[in-house]
Amino acid sequence: MSDELVPPGLDTSKAHPARRYNYWLGGKDHFAADRESGDLLERHHPSVRLTARENRAFLQRAVHHLAAEAGIDQFLDIGTGLPTADNTHEVAQRINPRSRVVYVDNDPMVGVHARALLTSTPEGRTCYLQEDLRNPEEILGDPQLKEILDLDRPVALMLIAVLHFIADHQEAREVVAHLVGALPSGSYLAASNFTLDYTPPEQAAVALDMIAKGQSDAHPRTREQFGDFFSGLELIGPGIVPVSDWLSPVPAGQRPTAAQVAIYGAVGRKP
């Protein structure tokens, strides 16, 4: 960790998803515990850095598509992550400078960095809320969110690589249903979630054992479980696919394999 943007009281002795993901992406905002956890997970899933990059590229393609093709100019990005290149508002505002983005994360370190770095174009708006995805009522009722997003107009809800931190599938389904339920027709859900569907059984057993031992906090979902999040929505593009296959500009034979990527992505429209 190289700069002074560390909130007081932050427990740096425990690995946190935002900082571990930053480590995998080659960023500089992580501590020893995050690196140790990142290295441990990488030993069992050697392509994890590729997974992180592919997931990030999916987020950017999804935002680009929603802004450029679907005319979306409002985004609610929950599980923001530490700011890196081409964050949601940068991709959206390059297409429409008036785009508005509300970022939400539960890591105080993301909060400090996001408030400093996720700054809007003059024509658009961004804000950051320190909140937990598991509290959709608080997120939707936040006065800052209401000031920035018009919930009578379509919004893209971004839940990219964050749902797998909610262990209980039913709880995750309810959270998504609550958030999507609050958005008007013409809104979108873009999401991704870790999966073991393509992982060889022995390696999958190790991954599950690591979760049971508290060494991993990313909960895999099958294709069917991931599809539950899109219940009642119309999937666009290729549907539910490994993130590297979602409207990828890379020819099919040259993309990473589903086993390497191990994370599903999809985008759905609320009818």
Ligand X SMILES: C[S@@+](CC[C@H](N)C(=O)[O-])C[C@H]1O[C@@H](n2cnc3c(N)ncnc32)[C@H](O)[C@@H]1O
d(CA 21, CA 180): 26
In whole angstroms, the minimum distance from the beta carbon of 202 to ligand X comes to: 25
Contact residue for ligand X among 37, 74, 79, 120 (CB under 6 A): 79
Binding mask 153-182 for ligand X (x = CB under 6 A): -------xxx--x-----------------
Pairing of strands 125-130, 234-235: unpaired
Asked if 111 is part of the footprint of ligand X (rule: CB under 6 A), the reply reads no
Asked if 81 is part of the footprint of ligand X (rule: CB under 6 A), the reply reads yes
DSSP state of 163: G
Asked if 195 is part of the footprint of ligand X (rule: CB under 6 A), the reply reads no
In whole angstroms, the minimum distance from the beta carbon of 97 to ligand X comes to: 22
Return the biggest CA–CA distance within the chain.
53
Contact residue for ligand X among 102, 110, 149, 179 (CB under 6 A): 110
Number of Cβ within a 10 Å radius of residue 227: 17
The pair of structure tokens assigned to 26 is: 């080659």
In whole angstroms, the minimum distance from the beta carbon of 17 to ligand X comes to: 4
In whole angstroms, the minimum distance from the beta carbon of 214 to ligand X comes to: 15
d(CA 186, CA 147): 20
In whole angstroms, the minimum distance from the beta carbon of 46 to ligand X comes to: 18
Left, alpha or beta for 243 (phi > 0: left; psi -120 to 50: alpha)? alpha
d(CA 78, CA 107): 11
Radius of gyration of the chain (CA): 18
Contact residue for ligand X among 55, 93, 195, 199 (CB under 6 A): 55
Q: How many residues bind ligand X (CB under 6 A)?
A: 21
Residue 192's identity, in one-letter code, is S
Contact residue for ligand X among 74, 106, 195, 216 (CB under 6 A): 106
Q: Select 170 or 185, whichever has its Cβ closest to ligand X.
A: 170
Q: Select 139 or 183, whichever has its Cβ closest to ligand X.
A: 139
Residue nearest ligand X, Cβ-based: 81
d(CA 262, CA 62): 18
Left, alpha or beta for 26 (phi > 0: left; psi -120 to 50: alpha)? left
Site for ligand X, rule CB under 6 A:
17-18, 21, 55-56, 59, 78-81, 105-107, 110, 132-134, 160-162, 165
